[in-house]
Chain A
Amino acid sequence: SQTIHQWPATLVQPVGSPLSLECTVEGTSNPNLYWYRQAAGRGLQLLFYSVGIGQISSEVPQNLSASRPQDRQFILSSKKLLLSDSGFYLCAWRPGGRPQETQYFGPGTRLLVL
């Protein structure tokens, strides 16, 4: 069966510090991968998605970036965090890019920028 991991589970970082969040998927190959952010009490905002190694699509301009160095690894990064980067970050995968496919979400990372 497929499993999705995210780490760390929680993170407190000072403004201006770098960020690296990691997501890995097990039990599948060539998945579509997604990074979402959920601000407190708000909905899901799609940040990035990837259909393959090295292929990243950005949904919103911001100081975050994403990379996919391996088939089942998706990394969210920042060189300098802002207060507004605080939130709950969710990684998700689906088997392909078809709209009828269910997305499966990881446990998330709670990021607090102070």
Chain B
Amino acid sequence: AQKVTQAQTEISVVEKEDVTLDCVYETRDTTYYLFWYKQPPSGELVFLIRRNSFDEQNEISGRYSWNFQKSTSSFNFTITASQVVDSAVYFCALGSYTNAGKSTFGDGTTLTVKP
């Protein structure tokens, strides 16, 4: 069975602080895909990034960076110099062929950035 765990239910930081959102996954597949989505207060989920299991290169996009470590089955997301607009619920998700291509979502982490 596949599982995604986002142990941090809620995180609160002050603007300009760095914050890391944890994601730990479980799967028996050797080929799989990891995603992060952002859900702002408006409700619509927005895709942020996708990684496949064969690419462990970390990625940076502006203030966002992702650390993928297969050895610990983790795909953590760091926001540098957080801003109020980063306040949202962030979901980590896992997809593989074993699950008929469907994505398994974590329960999400609610990030609040205070001014």
A interface residues (Cβ-Cβ under 8 A, vs B): 32, 34, 41-44, 46, 49, 88, 90, 92, 96-108, 110
Contacts and interface: CB of A to CB of B under 8 A. Distances in A.
Interface string B4-23: 00000000000000000000
Interface of B: 32-33, 35, 37, 42-47, 50, 52, 91, 95-97, 99-103, 105-108, 110
B51 to A, nearest CB: 10
A48 to B, nearest CB: 11
Most chain A CB atoms below 10 A, which of B45, B47, B97, B110: B45
A99 B110 CA distance: 25
B45 A99 contact: no
A49 B103 CA distance: 11
B107 A90 contact: no
Nearest to B99: A99
Given A43-B106, A107-B42, 10 more contacts: A42-B107, A44-B105, A44-B108, A88-B43, A99-B32, A99-B97, A99-B103, A103-B45, A103-B103, A105-B44
A108 B47 contact: no
Contacts of A42: 107-108
Given A46-B102, A105-B44, A107-B42, A100 B52 contact: yes
A103 B99 contact: no
Contact of A102 (B32, B50, B52, B100): B50
